[in-house]
Structure formats: C-alpha cells, structure tokens
Homo-oligomer: A and B are copies of this chain.
Amino acid sequence: MAVYTEVSDEELEEFIAGYDIGELVSFKGIAEGVENSNYLLQTDRGTFILTLYERRVDPADLPFFLGLMEHLAARGLACPTPLHGRDGAALRQLCGRPAAIVTFLTGLSPRRILPEHCGALGAAMAEMHVDGADFPMARANSLSVAGWRPLFEAARSRADTVAPGLAALIEGELAFLESNWPSGLPSGLIHADLFPDNVFFLPDRVTRAERVSGLIDFYFACTDQLAYDIAVCLNAWCFEPDASFNATKARLMLSAYRRVRPLSAAELEALPLLARGAAMRFLLTRLYDWLHTPAGAFVKRKDPLEYLRKLRFHQGIAGPGAYGIE
C-alpha cells in the first residue's frame, strides 16, 4: 500500500504535457507496491500507471529497470512498457522525484494460490528468462549471498527479541550458505521478487484456465543465476497458509518452466541450496524491516518468521525430489 507523494495540479498538468497521450480524465492513487507512489492515470486514449520513485529505489538503477521492461515488452512478454516523452526520455522528474509512465496491464493478483497459478507462473518465468537473455545491461544482485551479512549485522543484536535463538540460527545458516553458495549456473536477467502481488492472471475465455496476463514491479530485477528466481518462487508460491509445503504446486511450476527452458542437472541439484538462500534473503529483509519500522507506522510489517519456517523446510529435505522433480 503506497501513495506517498501528493502531486499538485500544475505539476501533473506539466508532466502529462511532456507525453503524447491525450487529455487527462482521471487520476487516482492506488494501493500497489510498498516502495513507490503509484497512480492510475486515464486519458481519452487509454489507461496508464504513473510511478514516482521514492527513497528505496536508487535513481542510478532506473535506466536498467526501465530499459529492461522495454526490452521484455518488445519481445512480447506481458509486462509494463515505459512511455517515452515528447523529448524521447522515458525517465523524467515529478515533484522532485524520478518518475515514469508505463502501460497499464489488466489482470488480478491471486490472493489464494491455486496449483494452476503455479504452472502458469513457471512458464511465464521461463519465458522471461529466455526473453531477457540478450538484454545488454547488467545489474548486480545486491540482495544475494554477499548482501545478507550486512543485513544480519544491522539486526543481530535484537534478533532474539523476535524469536529466541534466532541470531544463532541465522549465524549458522549464513556461514553455511557463504561457504556453499553455487556459482557457474546459467545466469542472466532475473526478476528476483516474483511474489503473487507481482503477477496478474486472467482466466482463458474458452478453457477458463488461469493464464498469466502480466508480470510487474521489476524494481529488484538484476543479473544472477536464473535458478535463483525459481528458488524465490518456490518460497513465495508453494507453501500453504499453514506453512506446509505443497509439492504439487512446485511440481507444476517446475515442469511448466522446464518445457520452456530446460534446467541442467547442476541447476536441479542446486535448487535446495538456492531455496535456502532465497528463504534467508526474505527472512533477513523482513527481520530488518520488523526491527526498524515503528509498530504504528504506515506500512504493514511482514512476519519474518514465516521465512524461518520455510528455511527450515528446505534445510530438512533430502534433495530436489522434494520439489516434485521426477
């Protein structure tokens, strides 16, 4: 839930005049994303999303994010495409912040994940990996293994206030991941935050099967091992609200992925370790936010312990077969 920046009439009018998108007829703040201010903007020519980038996004990364969305959309992936202003620029300024207008995508983010969502997601993620292969820009994943210890250091002294023994548990797992983190797997463009909030679905007109109608929010996208994106999704899509792992969902996701982009034996073998790492990444960012966000603050805090439970699942499995891989 967002909308942090109030846009004045004059600033909005001047900003819109920088684009060839027709007359503004509606402008509403929407509760989407937690990082930026988002507005649904309607003109007599169509519907768009206006995003003002707030403090969490590094402006230096914006050409990467916007260029990537444009690259993927040009290859037919259903993702927002930045509009270019009359001067050719896609990245502009509004209310003293970097800002961009992107195309609007229809679709609904599932609140309750069905197995068919996971299958459709697997295929869309693989297509994104294939489409991103020739994107010429690179951006390091600042929230991969090298980025976890600084987060832990900022949370360590108070970690045990969230759960007794949490600091020691993270310390041990972090040391293990740092020593064993895979390298050399196929790399390229990953989304790195492909949670259900960031995936839109619509039912097929004829079959009623859920199909992916859009991938959004590329503001964690980076260059990394492709299978790490799958590991994030195993965590984000394949656990039930009661914390149990749903192997059917994982099997559907992985098999649909592999039909579009085959996974090497090394990638399959590395999945449990990558899934532990992905669980650690969200455990640490949630723990950091939990300890650094006032209880009454505007943003709803997400429970870090959900990811502790997921981490423990991945620690306990015998191998990638637990994810439904034959």
User: What residues of chain A have their CB less than 8 Å away from a CB belonging to chain B?
Assistant: 1, 3, 6-10, 23-32, 40, 42, 106-108, 110-112, 202-203, 294-298
Contact = CB atoms under 8 A, between A and B. Distances in A.
Given A3-B1, A112-B8, A297-B296, A29 B31 contact: yes
Closest 8 CB pairs of A and B: A296-B296, A29-B31, A25-B106, A3-B31, A26-B106, A28-B30, A9-B111, A9-B112
Contacts of A6: 111
Given A28-B40, A30-B40, A40-B40, 14 more contacts: A1-B3, A3-B31, A10-B112, A23-B203, A25-B107, A25-B108, A25-B202, A27-B108, A28-B31, A29-B31, A42-B106, A295-B296, A296-B297, A298-B298
B108 A24 contact: yes
A110 B24 CA distance: 13
A203 B25 CA distance: 9
A103 B98 CA distance: 34
6 contacts: A3-B31, A9-B111, A25-B106, A25-B108, A28-B40, A42-B106
Contacts of A297: 296
A293 B193 CA distance: 35
B30 A30 contact: yes
Contacts of A296: 294-297
Contacts of A32: 28-29
Contacts of A112: 8-10
A314 B110 CA distance: 53
Nearest to A49: B28
A29 B10 contact: no
A115 B323 CA distance: 65
Nearest to A300: B298
Contacts of A28: 30-32, 40
Nearest to A295: B296
A9 to B, nearest CB: 5
A268 B175 CA distance: 79
A40 B27 CA distance: 12
A240 to B, nearest CB: 15
A24 B210 CA distance: 13
A110 B12 CA distance: 11
Nearest to A43: B106
A26, A29, A112, A294, most chain B CB atoms within 10 A: A26
Contacts of A31: 3, 28-31
A75 B156 CA distance: 65
Contacts of A111: 6-9
